[in-house]
Amino acid sequence: MSLDRREAMKVAAMSAACGLAGSLASRGSAAPQPPLPERPEVPGVEWDKAPCRFCGTGCHVQVGVQDGKVVAIAGDQQAEVNRGLLCVKGYHVGGILYGADRLTKPMLRVDGELQPIEWDEAIDIVARRIMEAGPKFGMYLSGQSTIPEGYAGNKLMRAGLSNNHLDANARLCMASAVTGFLSTYGVDEPAACYDDLDNCDALILWGNNPAEMHPVLFSRVVDRRIRGDEIEIYDIGTRWTRTTERADHHLLMKPHGDLAIANCVAQQLIEWGAVDEDFVAKHCNFRADRTPETTCKHDDYLAMVAEKGSAGLFGEPIDYAQYKELVSFYTPEKASELSGVPAEQLVMLAKLFANKKRRIVSLWCMGMNQHTAGTAINNLVHGIHLLSGHWGKPGDGPQSLTGQPSACGTVREVGTLSHALPGGRLVVNPEHRAELEQRWNLPEGRMNPEIGFHTVKMFEEFCKPTAEGGAINTIWVQVTNPGQSLPNTKKLFKAKEGQPDKFLIVSEVYPTATTELADLVLPSAMWVEKNGVYGNSERRTQQWFKMVDPPGEARDDCWQIIAVARRLLELGHEGLKDKDGEWLFTIRDDNGQEVPIWEWENYYGSVNVDRALFDEYRQFTFLKHKNVAPYDQLVTHRGMRWPVIETANGGFKETRWRFVEGSDVYVEPGKELQFYHSVTKDDRALIWFRPHQDPAETCSGAYPFMLTTGRVLEHWHTGTMTRRVKQLSNAMPKAYLEMNADDAREMGIANGEEVEVRTARGKMRLPVWLNGRARPPRGTLFVPFFDETASINDLTLDAIDPFSKQPDYKKSAARVTKTADLDPHSSDEVQP
Ligand SMILES: Nc1nc2c(c(=O)[nH]1)N[C@H]1C(S)=C(S)[C@@H](COP(=O)(O)OP(=O)(O)OC[C@H]3O[C@@H](n4cnc5c(=O)[nH]c(N)nc54)[C@H](O)[C@@H]3O)O[C@H]1N2
Ligand SMILES: Nc1nc2c(c(=O)[nH]1)N[C@H]1C(S)=C(S)[C@@H](COP(=O)(O)OP(=O)(O)OC[C@H]3O[C@@H](n4cnc5c(=O)[nH]c(N)nc54)[C@H](O)[C@@H]3O)O[C@H]1N2
Ligand code: SF4
Ligand SMILES: [Mo]
């Protein structure tokens, strides 16, 4: 029986939506299927390619446009990432453009109300406010900003305003992965790629839920079972999720149990003599936060570091003997006590690493990054792959997953973080600054040598009254919704209210928790209403063209930055000129004529601004062997994975595995593997000793539960886009409190009952969901953060990792009270 095309597409859609296996049509099952058409043929509908607007998987869609509107979405069969498949969000991505309340006019707050104003006035206000604020101005961008937007913002801030208070929401997301890569390999970003998922024998998930968060990637693995491949899935995590349903082994751990688990794998490999000694001797050095004088016991080491303090992100060298002595502490019994995972399961995991014949991929995302020891656990997972030699072969290696569609592209590569510069350059390095000044043709000394504020700090300073030293008074936010997504929002966002000297500028597409407190709202064009380039989780840069007009007066974020940069020049800001007096954003047409791109009428005129900015940015990517492809190449591809190398015949070739001979051209012949950016400058990666650490907040009598937060399949983050798509909001309408059924029974709480959940920072009422989609173990709670009407970040803790400055949204001590048991006379004050 053969499926007709429509049926086949439906099956693919359904299976992806459920995060299940499937995709019979597009990937070849036992029975041959008729090929799907390249694009659905619908009269009057024009199709073009674009990456999906949502997650870091980076699927490609075909976008169908009719009469100036997106009317259809199809999975793109030419795309290597998804091979025609999408998840439920992807199939509905077109709908996000058409919420009834799109922002269409700039608005200024006058007497407490947002009033419509003209664009000229809006741009003028931003420019004047920036001039006035000087070093008190901060810019907050996003892993959903396009690469040209991020590059323009970066150039405006560093080159134009000599200001490093530029950070992006990827700080909340990928910062610990970044510091993990930097301190292990000396350079950021995954070396592996999705092809590994087709080749591995075992997949380890270190606290992430890809069945809901990276569904197309997860089905790429699970699908293999339909074809008879044996693939073993190990799910390590703090709750039972939809991913667990597909797993062979579930290692249910206490929060932060991951540190002990990874250390125990190392301890067992050493005890069994199963370390890949040859690999380690050739390719690795050992590190710890501090060098002990001799070999020393675990607890003596901790005492020594406590006394001396941390040596910083790159730590200090230790030798192999010292490393062995330190990890010997993490016996299966000890690690079991610390992690809550039975010792037999720890031994089982270690046996997997001890087996050289199996190919193992480790994947992780927010469980490991939103962690006050996030850098440490990233180091440890890289470390056990290095120690066991499971590194650098197809299907065998660690692969950090990115959350946002361009956290890699726009934030990590472009360098829109407060300590970073384009091209992997660093603010604190004088040579790097000089190099940037030369490339941007700036006068010497233009670049500010001081690191700017990271996200949490930036908003802390913004919310702190100026009289009390608040060092930021103006923030421009683009493509992110900090009013709902920052931790501890009462402290880090809402405290801005009632401070007349603080000014919040928000470029948005819908009214949000952030525009709620905005002083100036700039309506933006989104996704295929503008040109764009994104970079996904496997180093793949993906380009798309504008396909439809934005509604009303909404305009591109990138244009907004350029228009402000022009207005600053007109107002006499010297920083906007290079050392020859030319405006920093000058773009010329083929005849050498300057194009007035700051005028909206000319923005999509004789030049493609995205192309000009991207190709300018591209030169920086050569500095750390991250060569992105030229824009025109990207136009004809479904993304290309960097480094993209120009071949002798003028073609371009992408790279699948970095640092691996035969794949990465920068590896010298005969080396097999070469970590050519190594911290120790000897082509070796670092295997770190990192001890177990308790979470920043632990349960107590007053707050006996551990509250964790995260996401669900149907919604994107703060829900601003997906809650406006009826199909998605019907499927998952409201936030809920997930509780363990036994805990609920003991407390007399019924399924669906409304309860109060409270932390030291705030409280809210939520309906309880028992035995629902996911199940937390006893003593733990889960609340998703998509629902603006029940914003859980009023309750979350704002503790951060000391190196990455990424907050830990996964561990807040909480209590639950039945609504009937609440004392109606008790104060609303939340007591710590
Ligand atoms: N549907 C959907 N998909 C998305 C997104 C979305 O909003 N919606 N957002 C995207 C983005 S930006 C991101 S960052 C990703 C996030 O993707 P994930 O990281 O997969 O999702 P989360 O729900 O944030 O995290 C849930 C996991 O945290 C783990 N966890 C909790 N505490 C700990 C701990 O102490 N250690 C470890 N190791 N694990 C722990 C739990 O086991 C749980 O599985 O999803 C991306 N994909
Ligand atoms: N409790 C809790 N909080 C978390 C997390 C968690 O796990 N738990 N995870 C954190 C993580 S990993 C992340 S990545 C962040 C995400 O946090 P945010 O980035 O704040 O969340 P989004 O909902 O993606 O916000 C994107 C905003 O951009 C708007 N937008 C869409 N397209 C455009 C455009 O083209 N231009 C402009 N100007 N605006 C546009 C959308 O309407 C939306 O309001 O949340 C963090 N917060
Ligand atoms: S998996 Fe991610 S990129 Fe792919 S369709 Fe779903 S949301 Fe879009
Ligand atoms: Mo994220």
Q: Ligand 4 center to residue 143 CA distance, Å?
A: 8
Query: Element (H or E) spanning 333, and its range?
Result: helix 332-339
Q: Ligand 3 center to residue 214 CA distance, Å?
A: 7
Q: Pick the residue whose CA is nearest to atom 24 on ligand 1.
A: 710
Same domain, 419 and 399: no
Euclidean distance between CA atoms 199 and 189, whole angstroms = 21
- Identify whether 89 is a catalytic site residue: yes
Residue type, 634: L
Of 173, 193, 640, 732, the catalytic one is 173
Task: Give the CATH number for residue 79.
Answer: 2.20.25.90
Same domain, 168 and 179: no
Task: Give the CATH number for residue 749.
Answer: 2.40.40.20
- Stronger pLDDT, 402 or 11, i.e. the higher one: 402
What residues contact residue 506 under an 8 Å CB cut-off, 6+ apart? Answer: 476, 477, 478, 512, 514, 515, 518, 520, 521, 522
Consult the annotation and say whether 507 binds a ligand.
yes
- 427 vs 174, 255, 493, CA distance in Å? 19, 34, 27
pLDDT tens digit sequence for 429-486: 999 999 999 999 999 999 999 999 999 999 999 999 999 999 999 999 999 999 999 9
Decide whether any atom of ligand 1 lies within 6 Å of the 239 Cβ.
yes
Query: Which range of residues forms the domain containing residue 205?
Result: 175-403
Consult the annotation and say whether 712 binds a ligand.
yes
Same domain, 31 and 160: no
Decide whether any atom of ligand 2 lies within 6 Å of the 402 Cβ.
no
Same domain, 388 and 454: no
Name the domain boundary from 603, 630, 658: 603
Atom of ligand 1 nearest to the CA of 365: 19
Decide whether any atom of ligand 2 lies within 6 Å of the 812 Cβ.
no
Residue 15 has a pLDDT of: 40
Question: Does 632 reside within a domain?
Answer: no
Same domain, 475 and 589: yes
Determine the distance from the C-alpha atom of residue 740 to the mean position of all C-alpha atoms in its chain, rounded to a whole number: 29
Same domain, 165 and 186: no
The three-state DSSP-derived secondary structure of 462-516 is HHCCHHHCCCCCEEEEECCCHHHHCCCHHHHCHHHCCCCCCEEEEEECCCCCCHH
Of 143, 150, 383, 403, the catalytic one is 403
Decide whether any atom of ligand 1 lies within 6 Å of the 9 Cβ.
no
Euclidean distance between CA atoms 137 and 458, whole angstroms = 10
Consult the annotation and say whether 508 binds a ligand.
yes
Instruction: Determine the length of the chain.
Output: 832
Q: Pick the residue whose CA is nearest to atom 6 on ligand 3.
A: 87
Euclidean distance between CA atoms 585 and 115, whole angstroms = 31
Nearest-5° angle of CA 182, CA 186, CA 188? 45
Token code pair at residue 678: 């190594």
Mutate to test the pocket of ligand 1, among 96, 206, 213, 728 (most ligand atoms within 8 A of CB): 213
- Identify whether 626 is a catalytic site residue: no
H-type alpha helices, 227-329: 242-245, 257-271, 277-283, 298-308, 320-327
Consult the annotation and say whether 463 binds a ligand.
no
Euclidean distance between CA atoms 743 and 782, whole angstroms = 13
Token code pair at residue 251: 């290692």
Atom of ligand 3 nearest to the CA of 88: 6
- Identify whether 157 is a catalytic site residue: no
Question: Does 694 reside within a domain?
Answer: no
H-type alpha helices, 670-825: 726-731, 741-747
Consult the annotation and say whether 129 binds a ligand.
no
Over 60: is that where the pLDDT of 5 sits?
no
Question: Does 464 reside within a domain?
Answer: yes
Question: Does 410 reside within a domain?
Answer: yes
- Identify whether 734 is a catalytic site residue: no
pLDDT tens digit sequence for 792-820: 999 999 999 999 999 999 999 999 999 98
Q: Ligand 2 center to residue 96 CA distance, Å?
A: 14
Residue 59 has a pLDDT of: 98
Same domain, 363 and 387: yes
Pairing mode, strands 360-364 and 202-206:
parallel
Consult the annotation and say whether 793 binds a ligand.
yes
Q: Ligand 3 center to residue 584 CA distance, Å?
A: 36
Decide whether any atom of ligand 1 lies within 6 Å of the 218 Cβ.
no
Residue 40 has a pLDDT of: 74
Atom of ligand 3 nearest to the CA of 214: 1
pLDDT tens digit sequence for 369-401: 999 999 999 999 999 999 999 999 999 999 999
Q: Ligand 1 center to residue 52 CA distance, Å?
A: 19
Atom of ligand 3 nearest to the CA of 54: 7
Mutate to test the pocket of ligand 3, among 20, 54, 404 (most ligand atoms within 8 A of CB): 54
Same domain, 391 and 411: no
Consult the annotation and say whether 819 binds a ligand.
no
pLDDT tens digit sequence for 45-91: 999 999 999 999 999 999 999 999 999 999 999 999 999 999 999 99
- The number of the ligand nearest the C-alpha atom of 365 reads 1
Q: Ligand 3 center to residue 60 CA distance, Å?
A: 8
Over 50: is that where the pLDDT of 12 sits?
no
Q: Which residues line ligand 3 (CB under 6 A)?
A: 52, 54-55, 57-59, 82, 86-87, 89-90, 214-216
Confidence class of residue 92 from pLDDT cuts 50, 70 and 90?
A: very high
Question: Does 653 reside within a domain?
Answer: no
What residues contact residue 1 under an 8 Å CB cut-off, 6+ apart? Answer: none
Atom of ligand 3 nearest to the CA of 61: 5
Same domain, 458 and 505: yes
Residue 823 has a pLDDT of: 80
Over 90: is that where the pLDDT of 830 sits?
no
Residue 403 has a pLDDT of: 97
Q: Pick the residue whose CA is nearest to atom 8 on ligand 3.
A: 90
Q: Ligand 3 center to residue 616 CA distance, Å?
A: 29
- The number of the ligand nearest the C-alpha atom of 142 reads 2
Q: Ligand 4 center to residue 290 CA distance, Å?
A: 31
Atom of ligand 1 nearest to the CA of 209: 20
Omega of the bond leading into 784 within 30 degrees of 0 (cis): no
Compute how many other C-beta atoms are within 10 angstroms of the C-beta atom of residue 90.
Answer: 28
Q: Ligand 1 center to residue 151 CA distance, Å?
A: 28
Name the domain boundary from 539, 573, 603: 603
Atom of ligand 1 nearest to the CA of 712: 1
Mutate to test the pocket of ligand 1, among 203, 208, 234 (most ligand atoms within 8 A of CB): 208
Decide whether any atom of ligand 1 lies within 6 Å of the 374 Cβ.
no
Atom of ligand 1 nearest to the CA of 710: 23
Q: Ligand 3 center to residue 86 CA distance, Å?
A: 6
Residue 828 has a pLDDT of: 53
Of 58, 64, 84, 89, the catalytic one is 89
- Identify whether 174 is a catalytic site residue: yes
Residue type, 829: E
Whole-prediction pTM: 0.95
Question: Does 626 reside within a domain?
Answer: no
Beta bridge partners of 362: 204, 398
Residue type, 59: C
Token code pair at residue 599: 């005028």
% residues pLDDT > 70 (the chain)? 95
Decide whether any atom of ligand 2 lies within 6 Å of the 531 Cβ.
no
Confidence class of residue 180 from pLDDT cuts 50, 70 and 90?
A: very high
Same domain, 566 and 445: yes
Of 9, 107, 157, 174, the catalytic one is 174
Question: Does 650 reside within a domain?
Answer: no
Question: Does 628 reside within a domain?
Answer: no
Q: Pick the residue whose CA is nearest to atom 12 on ligand 2.
A: 173
Pairing mode, strands 202-206 and 166-168:
unpaired
Over 80: is that where the pLDDT of 24 sits?
no
Confidence class of residue 39 from pLDDT cuts 50, 70 and 90?
A: confident
Consult the annotation and say whether 530 binds a ligand.
yes
Consult the annotation and say whether 179 binds a ligand.
no
Of 366, 463, 706, 764, the catalytic one is 366
Euclidean distance between CA atoms 788 and 37, whole angstroms = 40
Mutate to test the pocket of ligand 2, among 142, 556, 787 (most ligand atoms within 8 A of CB): 142
Same domain, 388 and 421: no
pLDDT tens digit sequence for 492-541: 999 999 999 999 999 999 999 999 999 999 999 999 999 999 999 999 99
Residue 21 has a pLDDT of: 33
Whole-angstrom Cα Rg for the chain: 26
Determine the distance from the C-alpha atom of residue 492 to the mean position of all C-alpha atoms in its chain, rounded to a whole number: 20
Consult the annotation and say whether 144 binds a ligand.
yes
Consult the annotation and say whether 415 binds a ligand.
no
Q: Ligand 4 center to residue 175 CA distance, Å?
A: 10
pLDDT tens digit sequence for 220-250: 999 999 999 999 999 999 999 999 999 999 9
Pairing mode, strands 397-400 and 360-364:
parallel
Total domains in the chain come to 4
Average pLDDT, the chain: 94
Name the domain boundary from 403, 425, 459: 403
Decide whether any atom of ligand 1 lies within 6 Å of the 709 Cβ.
no
- Identify whether 403 is a catalytic site residue: yes
- The number of the ligand nearest the C-alpha atom of 401 reads 1
- DSSP class of residue 532? E
Q: Ligand 3 center to residue 650 CA distance, Å?
A: 33
Same domain, 319 and 439: no
Euclidean distance between CA atoms 607 and 584, whole angstroms = 16
